[in-house]
């Protein structure tokens, strides 16, 4: 028996097919474009999502033995993209992605009107990426689109509809639209009023793991699958990564290292903070995931690799591994897209302080990795003020493949790092949702205990941790400056 986990991401879609034990039996990936325009507009074509789902599923399924029984499928998805569809569910607008900033003025107006209510209800601070400001922008600049649209949906609803004919989201993806009450898992009337929307123009919101339906005849034909494949409601990508890495109990923490690094702290209640930690409903019943983002943390090293003319990250690792002492006085603040949580100041930009003539490009690379790890520690310290401390981190994503960055992060945070064997944890999490949904496993913890394995555990070295404790003190003193 096999399960499909498909992650519809920002720049591409991945599909992983696993067996009952979580062993990966097939993989597929397909990229698509982001279309950037003036005025902070960043858009996508919704049909690109579907084309990528079709290609990646077919590619993954081609590796299975003849006659293999695929039982169930579920989605992991990017959040925050807004798409208008007509009564036939045909897109009548581009998808305004989570990076789109055209509604900055509208977002600032909502913040002035009722910013505290928005955060304390939805779990997210005001931002142009969310539906209330985007819908206000559409009402002001594209009123005909507002009139014509039958529904406004995001990525997961669109793909679920293409699979089953039902427009369905889950609480974690709905939260990324800033229209849901995080305490009730239901659309919030005041937030809907802020957006100028009514419930009939939104998808169904069902718990993660709910049965949506079987594949339609058309979807089954395009995907090359049986009409009997069941589709279960998935979750936002960070919550799927939480499941796929085994972060499923209060106190567990996920460190997801993509373009933006994300810390997700699992708790038994939503954690609201002055610094605007983002609490959301976890797929595990009764739990919450509290999210903090480190803007551009992962892309900072890519930027440096281009600058220094070395795109071999293994080589950068090996050279930077020798630079702990020589880079001791370099402090690198990786704020390429502004200072993220807990500083939350977009006006503050990146800086590198303390360089001398003796330093080379790999000293700077070492300091950059340390800077991102220091920012991770800042996040963990802020979260711990509200009782959400942990003794370990589950590290996933690009940086988890590094031979050096996990070592630095473990010593800076003084925490054990657990690195899953399968790096596409969003897909594994979606596959686990499918396995639990169809009844093969009774619950997510049981499924994860069988389907998630760890390839590496990194523990702090006392001497190195003390070195970084001293350097972190110097790093923090300069943050306010």
pLDDT of residue 344: 82
Q: What pLDDT does 387 receive?
A: 81
Whether residue 253 sits in one domain with residue 216: no
Concatenated DSSP letters of 413-448: HT-EEEEESSS-HHHHHHHHHHHHHTTSSSSHHHHH
Q: Two tokens at 80? A: 């925050």
Do 140 and 45 lie in one domain? The reply is yes
Structure tokens, 468? 């970084």
Same domain? 166 vs 187: yes
Same domain, yes or no: 392 and 327: yes
Instruction: Identify the weakest region by mean pLDDT among 51-60, 381-390, 409-418, 435-444.
Output: 381-390
Quick: pLDDT tens for 153-168: 999 999 999 999 999 9
Q: Is residue 328 in some structural domain?
A: yes
The pair phi, psi for residue 388, each rounded to 5°, is: -110, 55
pTM value > 0.75: yes
Q: With respect to residue 430, please indicate whether it lies within any of the assigned structural domains.
A: no
Is residue 213 pLDDT above 80, yes or no?
Answer: yes
Last residue of some domain: 238, 261, 277?
238
In a domain, 18, yes or no: yes
Would residue 429 count as lying in a domain?
no
Do 195 and 339 belong together in one domain? no
Average pLDDT in the chain = 95
* Residue 184 domain flag: yes
In terms of domains, do 256 and 197 share one? no
pLDDT of residue 392: 84
How much is the pLDDT for 467?
Answer: 98
> Based on the domain organization, do 229 and 272 belong to the same domain?
no
Of 189, 218, 238, the last residue of a domain is 238
The domain boundary, picked from 209, 238, 267, lies at: 238
Average pLDDT over residues 448-460: 95
Beta-ladder partners of 263 = 255, 292
Q: Are residues 186 and 284 in the same domain?
A: no
pLDDT value of residue 380: 94
pLDDT-derived band at 337 (thresholds 50, 70, 90) equals confident
Q: Do both 261 and 230 map to the same domain? A: no
What is residue 347's predicted lDDT score, i.e. its pLDDT? Answer: 84
How many CA within 13 A on the CB side of residue 139?
12
Establish if 449 belongs to a structural domain. Answer: no
Mean pLDDT of 132-156: 97
Does position 389 have pLDDT exceeding 80, yes or no? Answer: no
Least confident of 204-213, 303-312, 324-333, 472-481: 472-481
Question: Could you write out the DSSP letters of every residue in 289-341?
Answer: EEEEEETTHHHHHHHHHHHHT---HHHHHHHHTT-TTTTTT-EEE--BTBB-T
Within a domain: residue 348?
yes
**Do 221 and 253 fall within a single domain?**
no
Could you tell me if 88 and 165 lie in one domain?
yes
Number of separate domains in the chain = 2
Number of residues in the chain:
481
Q: What is the CATH number of the domain that holds 283?
A: 3.30.420.40
pLDDT tens per residue across span 243-263: 999 999 999 999 999 888 999
Structural domain contains residue 445 = no
* Whether 313 contacts 321, CB under 8 Å: no
Looking at the fold, whether 335 and 196 belong to one and the same domain comes out as: no
Residue ranges making up the domain that contains 365: 247-415+460-481
* Predicted confidence (pLDDT) at residue 336 exceeds the cutoff of 90: no
Helix, strand, or coil (residue 151): strand
């Amino acid at each position: 028996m096999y399960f499909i986990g498909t992650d519809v991401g920002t720049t591409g879609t991945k599909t992983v097919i696993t067996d009952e034990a979580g062993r990966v039996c097939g993989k597929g990936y397909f990229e698509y474009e982001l279309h950037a325009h003036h005025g902070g507009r960043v858009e996508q074509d919704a049909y690109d999502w579907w084309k990528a789902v079709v290609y990646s599923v077919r590619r993954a399924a081609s590796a299975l033995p003849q006659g293999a029984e695929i039982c169930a499928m579920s989605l992991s998805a990017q959040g925050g993209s807004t798409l208008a569809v007509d009564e036939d569910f045909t897109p009548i607008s581009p998808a305004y992605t989570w990076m789109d900033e055209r509604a900055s003025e509208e977002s600032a107006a909502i913040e002035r009107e009722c910013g505290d209510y928005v955060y304390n209800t939805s779990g997210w601070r005001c931002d142009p990426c969310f539906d209330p400001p985007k819908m206000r922008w559409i009402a002001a600049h594209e009123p005909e689109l507002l009139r014509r649209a039958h529904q406004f949906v995001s990525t997961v609803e669109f793909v679920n509809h293409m699979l089953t004919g039902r427009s369905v989201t889950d609480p974690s993806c709905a939260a990324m639209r800033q229209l849901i009450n995080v305490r009730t898992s239901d659309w919030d009337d005041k937030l809907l009023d802020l957006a100028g929307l009514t419930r009939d123009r939104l998808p169904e919101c069902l718990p993660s793991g709910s049965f949506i339906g079987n594949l339609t005849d058309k979807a089954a034909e395009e995907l090359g699958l049986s009409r009997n494949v069941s589709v279960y409601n998935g979750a936002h990508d960070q919550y799927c990564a939480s499941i796929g890495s085994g972060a499923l109990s209060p106190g567990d923490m996920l460190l997801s290292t993509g373009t933006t690094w994300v810390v997700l702290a699992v708790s038994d209640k939503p954690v609201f903070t002055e610094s605007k930690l983002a609490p959301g409903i976890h797929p595990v019943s009764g739990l919450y995931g509290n999210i903090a983002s480190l803007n551009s943390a992962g892309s900072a090293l890519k930027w440096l690799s281009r600058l220094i003319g070395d795109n071999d990250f293994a080589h950068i690792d090996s050279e930077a591994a020798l630079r702990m002492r020589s880079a001791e006085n370099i402090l690198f603040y990786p704020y390429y897209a502004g200072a993220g949580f807990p500083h939350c100041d977009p006006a503050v930009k990146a800086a590198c302080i303390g360089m001398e003539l003796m330093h080379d490009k790999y000293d700077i690379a070492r300091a950059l990795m340390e800077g991102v790890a220091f920012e991770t520690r800042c996040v963990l310290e802020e979260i711990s003020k509200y009782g959400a401390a942990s003794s370990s981190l589950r590290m996933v994503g690009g940086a988890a493949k590094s031979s050096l960055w996990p070592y630095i992060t473990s010593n800076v945070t003084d925490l054990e790092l657990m690195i899953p064997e399968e790096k596409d944890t969003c897909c594994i999490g979606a596959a686990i949702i499918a396995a639990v949904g169809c009844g093969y496993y009774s619950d997510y913890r049981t499924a994860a205990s069988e389907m998630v394995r760890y390839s590496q555990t990194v523990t702090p070295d006392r001497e190195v941790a003390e070195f970084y404790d001293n350097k972190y003190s110097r790093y923090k003193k300069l943050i306010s400056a």
